[in-house]
Amino acid sequence: MTKKQKTLLIWDFDGVLADSERLWVDIWYQSLIDKRNIKLSNDEVEKYLTGLSEKTKCEYLNIYFNAHIDDDFIKEIHQQQLIKIETELNPMPGIEPIFSDNSFKHAVATGTRRSVVDIKLKKIGLWQKYIDFSNCFTSDDVQNGKPAPDLFLYTAKKMGYLPQNSIVIEDSINGIKAGIASNMTVLAFIGAKSNNNDHYARQCLENGASHVFKTMPDLHQFLRNSYL
């Protein structure tokens, strides 16, 4: 009898494994004001800065705001991000029991650039314990970042899984859209401080997430009840 394949959990990083999306958004938001005199509205922040790869952010900002994002701008962004990683990046409470649950297969699919993904995962205690370069994929691996489905499809293929046997765990609307476009089940995690409210939960459901979770223990229990 063929052994049943474990369900693949494809994890976003920022806003899911760490309450970090707000850190990077704040850096971009303030840098655009300071360096380009561009102040985005709340809706524009959500649309052009949240849940996107660096490459996609640059493309959107250059197209829609004529922001002239150049190498010097990006270099300063990177320097500020490294400081934030060292001083403010912490794991989302409750992730360890899920990753130590051998009933599931785990992979990370993040808009984080390849050059720092290991630093971020090491800071929250997952690197070389549950995640390494064999099951960690970034926007550098694909042509189009989220909300395109490329990264999730690439991750599933590399892990040897079909989309229907893969579950995306995302916090951003752009990430949810990417998961739905991949024909995968999408679970929304809204435990990050900026997302933890009923209005955002409704937005996640309206954009295709099948369920919404505010804590990792609740998510873990659902996964065990539904997929084992």
Instruction: Please say if the pLDDT value at position 12 is more than 60.
Output: yes
- The pLDDT assigned to 4 comes to 79
In whole numbers, what is the pLDDT of the chain averaged over residues? 94
- Domains, in order of start, for the chain: 8-20+91-227 (3.40.50.1000), 21-88 (1.10.150)
- Bridge partners of 138, per DSSP, are 110
pTM (global) more than 0.75: yes
User: What would the pLDDT profile of 140-191 be if each residue is shown by its tens digit?
Assistant: 999 998 999 999 999 999 999 999 999 999 999 999 999 999 999 999 999 9
Q: Which residue do the tokens 């691996």 mark?
A: 141
Pairwise CA distance, residues 189 & 206, whole Å: 14
As a whole number of Å, the end-to-end CA separation of the chain is 18
Pairwise CA distance, residues 93 & 53, whole Å: 24
Q: Which residue do the tokens 């499809």 mark?
A: 153
